[in-house]
Amino acid sequence: MNSLKISALELATICKNSNPSEAIERAVEGAQHIEKLGYERMWFAEHHNMPHIASSATSVLIGHIAGKTSTLRVGSGGIMLPNHTPLVVAEQFGTLESIYPGRIDLGLGRAPGTDQLTAMALRRNNLNTSFYFKDDILELQKYLDENNVDAKVRAFPGEGLDIPIYILGSSTDSAYLAAELGLPYAFAAHFAPAMLRQASAIYHEKFQPSQYLEQPYFIICVNIVAADTVEEANFLSTSLFNMFAGILTNLRKPLSPPTEKPIYDGIPEIEQAVQSMVSCTFIGTEKEIREDVLTFAEEYQADEIMTTNYIFDNQKRLKAFDIIAKALIQN
């Protein structure tokens, strides 16, 4: 697995007693740090109506991060395409690629990235847009194609630019679609691992080579909490577990300091639900991370591992990126 690439997913998560400006600055610092360590890319996820996530205007944030870095690939993990028209996405990412050539990725998802009421506000009461995900991808590819010159509607900037498109998902539907279109595929195992095995098998078995990709390229997003000792890593991981417990119980809070035990300790229903949600989580020192993640990547035929980093203390968060790099990036 020496060719395994390592990257990061960032939501510009707001920490306790912090604010969006500080969350975005923390994302900038993280991007600059992993760029020096040899990470492949940093992606930002589109979420809406979530008071503790500052990545709602995803393309704006991508531009900001790209402007603060120089070699790191920056992109969306992802843009929720049913929330937007393909033309607008083509223009936005065409603009980003024009400013930062060769560094922009366009990951596309089908989910709304929010609750149903907010999805209605985003989509102007048309909740059927998700049914046209494939058609919208094909339309978006057309706008970016250099051969679209004779069309009545064209994307400027955008047309003729080489902007890699990735399909994002957490189900077998997305695996089939990525395979059919011959596109790279990123699976959200960091919060929805249930169908990972089936999705990997389908994508690899059904993949059809395209003008964009000759063979499958599979990214798996997981949670990694790394520290100098196993005990410290387990302690730091409670921030992650407590955050997911808040999501499951609809008691969402900012990312908070670690606790001696998870806040749901002794409540079996929540314990089981959280563990199911974050079963693709790797906790430990450089040794454990290397052994466990490489074994996992080989088992699921991953070409790239994308890690979240929900560590509250910023210096320990940056240190975790260091440990992950030592464990997994071949220098």
Residue 260 domain-assigned? no
Nearest to 303 by CA among 173, 214, 181: 214
Q: What is the pLDDT of residue 122?
A: 87
Q: What is the pLDDT of residue 115?
A: 86
Total structural domains in the chain? 1
- Predicted confidence (pLDDT) per residue in 26-41, tens digit: 999 999 999 999 999 9
pTM of the complete model beyond 0.85: yes
Owner of token pair 């051969």:
147
Residue 296 domain-assigned? yes
Read off the CATH number of the domain in which 48 is found: 3.20.20.30
Residue 255 domain-assigned? no
**Can you read off the two tokens belonging to residue 75?**
């992109």
CA distance 127 to 111: 11
CA distance 61 to 272: 35
Q: What is the pLDDT of residue 2?
A: 56
Residue 199 domain-assigned? yes
Residue 232 domain-assigned? no
| Whether the bond into 209 is cis, omega within 30 of 0 | no
Residue range of the domain that includes 320: 5-227+281-328
Residue 274 domain-assigned? no
Answer for the pair 77, 27: CB distance below 8 angstroms, yes or no.
no
Which segments of the chain are extended strands (E)? 5-10, 41-44, 73-80, 104-109, 165-169, 185-187, 218-226, 281-284, 304-308
Q: What is the pLDDT of residue 331?
A: 55
Q: What is the pLDDT of residue 1?
A: 45
With a cut of 70, list the residues of the chain below it in pLDDT: 1-2, 331
**Can you read off the two tokens belonging to residue 143?**
């706008």
- Predicted confidence (pLDDT) per residue in 152-200, tens digit: 999 999 999 999 999 999 999 999 999 999 999 999 999 999 999 999 9
Residue 217 domain-assigned? yes
CA distance 208 to 214: 8
Residue 267 domain-assigned? no
Cβ neighbours, 10 Å, residue 16: 12
Using the Cα atoms of residue 79, residue 85, residue 91 and residue 92 in order, give the sign of their dihedral.
Answer: negative
Nearest to 184 by CA among 198, 203, 171: 203
**Can you read off the two tokens belonging to residue 60?**
């704006």
Nearest to 243 by CA among 266, 205, 212, 270: 270
CA distances to 36, 86, 121, 168 from 127, in Å: 42, 16, 10, 19
DSSP state letters, 275-321: HHHT-SEEEE-HHHHHHHHHHHHHHTT-SEEEEE---SSHHHHHHHH
What is the length of the chain? 331
